[in-house]
Amino acid sequence: MSQLDDLLGGLLGGKGGSGGGLEDILGQLTGGGQSSGRQPSPGGGMAAMLLPLIAGFLKNGGLNKILSGLQQQGLSSQAQSWVDSGSNEPVSGAQVEQVVGRDQIEAIAQQLGLSHEQAADAVAEVLPRVVDQVSPDGELPAEPDLDDLFARIAGEGR
């Protein structure tokens, strides 16, 4: 399970993984780092809550469903760039909403006290980084390992 722990450590800003993981993601969301030109989402506390919410819908095969949905929406290049090494191609909040679903975005907006558009934009900002972090070698781990990782991030402590 060492590789899984390294991935989790990278996402949560601990040992292992590449870069600062969650700290970098949260820093960019809250304006502490350079982003892709989008406005940062409000509030560090809300940003800290976003990763577990995203992890919640990525578990149980959700990541593969989202990547497939992106491909069906004509966003294969973006989805593949998140998995591959190298820079991540951005998607808009509206594009991510088409794949994730309006209800999921609305639930995130309500939990974080954001507008629907802010929540969609925040998910569009964080999702590529999460996928990038869990596929440091250009390949996604096996689905059971991903499910375990996302469950732990979502606070379900497997």
Give Cβ neighbours of residue 70 (< 8 Å, ≥ 6 apart).
76, 78, 79, 91, 95, 99
- Contact between 34 and 28 under an 8 Å Cβ cutoff? The reply is yes
CATH number assigned to the domain with residue range 46-153, chosen from the 4 options 3.40.50.300, 3.40.800.10, 3.40.50.620, 1.10.10.690: 1.10.10.690
Residue spans of the domains in the chain: they are 46-153
Let me know the angle formed at the C-alpha of 102 by 99 and 108, rounded to the nearest 5 degrees.
Answer: 105
pLDDT level of residue 73 (50, 70, 90 thresholds)? very high
Interval 5-58: pLDDT, tens: 554 455 545 434 444 444 454 444 444 444 333 333 444 455 567 888 998 999
Interval 86-118: pLDDT, tens: 899 999 999 999 999 999 999 999 988 889 999
Residue 155: other Cβ atoms inside 10 A: 10
**Predicted structure pTM score:** 0.73
